[in-house]
Amino acid sequence: MEKMELNILQSSKNLSNIEVLIVESDDAIRLKTSLIFKNFFFEVYSCKNFTEALEILNEKEISYIVIDSTITDMNPLDFIAEVKAKNNLLPITILSDDESVEELMKYANSDVQGFILKPLDYDKIKSLFSKISNYIKKHFDNSEYLLENYYYNYDKKLLLDNNKKAFKLNNKETKLLHLLIKNKNSTIKFEEFQKEVWGIDDANMSSSALRTVIKNLRKKTGLKNIENLSRIGYRFVV
Task: Say what the pLDDT of residue 6 is.
Answer: 45
Q: Which helix (H) or strand (E) holds 171?
A: helix 171-182
CA 228 to chain centre: 22
Q: For 143-236, which CATH class?
A: mainly alpha
Specify the higher pLDDT residue, 220 or 126. 220
Least confident of 13-27, 49-63, 107-121, 153-167: 153-167
> Taking the domains of the chain in order of start, what are their residue ranges?
2-140, 143-236
Name the DSSP class of 197. Answer: I
Q: Where are the alpha helices (DSSP H) in 12-95?
A: 27-37, 50-59, 76-86
Which residue would you say has higher pLDDT here, 23 or 144?
23
Mean pLDDT of the chain: 85
Q: In what order do the strands lie in the sheet with 233-236?
A: 188-189, 233-236, 226-229
Q: What is the mean pLDDT of residues 67-85?
A: 93
Name the residue type at position 129: F
Query: What is the Cβ-side half-sphere exposure of residue 102, based on CA atoms within 13 angstroms?
Result: 1
Class of domain 2-140: alpha beta
**b/e per residue 144-170 (b: at least 16 CB within 10 A):** bebeeebbbebeeebbbeeeeeebebe
For β-strands 188-189 and 158-161, DSSP reports them as unpaired
pLDDT tens, residue by residue, 2-24 = 444 445 455 555 677 788 999 99
Q: What is the reported pLDDT for 176? A: 95
Mention every residue, 6+ apart, whose C-beta is less than 8 A from residue 188.
179, 180, 233, 234, 235
User: In percent, how much of the chain has pLDDT > 70?
Assistant: 87
pLDDT of residue 172: 93
- Looking at residue 49, its pLDDT comes to 97
Say if CB 95 and CB 118 are below 8 A apart. Answer: yes
| Confidence (pLDDT) at 5 | 47
| Its pTM surpasses 0.95 | no
Q: Among candidates 104, 107, 97, which has minimal Cα distance to 29?
A: 97
More confident residue, 2 or 231: 231
